[in-house]
Chains A and B, each alone.
Chain A
Amino acid sequence: EAGVTQFPSHSVIEKGQTVTLRCDPISGHDNLYWYRRVMGKEIKFLLHFVKESKQDESGMPNNRFLAERTGGTYSTLKVQPAELEDSGVYFCASSELAGVYNEQFFGPGTRLTVL
């Protein structure tokens, strides 16, 4: 079974440009999470989808970030316009909805560099 996939693996853009990250969760996983890790810091929660609905977006830094999950399958995270402090590794994770203790399976991450 394929794991969580993310595209692109790396992205280098200039300040002010737009970037869209994509995440394909494990098939059948209704929970989808976005995280970001800035170098040397914690893996920080950004937001959580249950199917196509945003369950919790309390970690989104500001309104330059827009996440979508149309149809409840893959998700995109758009940063527009990008700023220097947006640099970091963006992880996506997915898990099953049913059950009490559900392992979150991570994707390989997208390394975003804003110059």
Chain B
Amino acid sequence: GENVEQHPSTLSVQEGDSAVIKCTYSDSASNYFPWYKQELGKRPQLIIDIRSNVGEKKDQRIAVTLNKTAKHFSLHITETQPEDSAVYFCAASRAGGYQKVTFGIGTKLQVIP
């Protein structure tokens, strides 16, 4: 089955700095990589995703990159703000109606004002 490794498990950055979270996956058939953000006491919510036919995707201050050959993908947050503080989960799955999503361990990001 799929295995997703995520690091670091915790990350503290100063407000305005960048944060990078890295993940690797094992199943070469995985082709859909969503990222979820879980704020304290709230539900995980999808913030961005990338499909295997692209190498990078941006949405304002967040971007994801994917290296299919190396089987790793990363989340980049620029100009971090206190409201970015949360636990971020990377995930991998095969696309299709019967997706089984495998999550990483989560990264607790703290943005220090």
Contacts and interface: CB of A to CB of B under 8 A. Distances in A.
A and B are interacting partners: yes
Interface of A: 3-4, 31, 33, 35, 40-45, 48, 50, 55-56, 58, 91, 95-109
B49 A99 contact: no
A101 B106 CA distance: 22
A98 B97 contact: yes
Contacts of A33: 101
Given A106-B43, A108-B43, A109-B43, A101 B98 contact: no
A91 B43 contact: yes
Q: Describe A's contact surface by its main secondary structure.
A: loop
A108 B32 contact: no
Interface of B: 1, 4, 6, 9, 32, 34, 36, 42-46, 49, 51, 89, 95-106
- Residue from B32, B101, B106 whose CB has the most chain A CB atoms within 10 Å: B101
- Closest 5 A/B residue pairs (Cβ): A43-B103, A106-B43, A106-B44, A42-B105, A108-B43
- Residue from A41, A44, A106, A107 whose CB has the most chain B CB atoms within 10 Å: A106
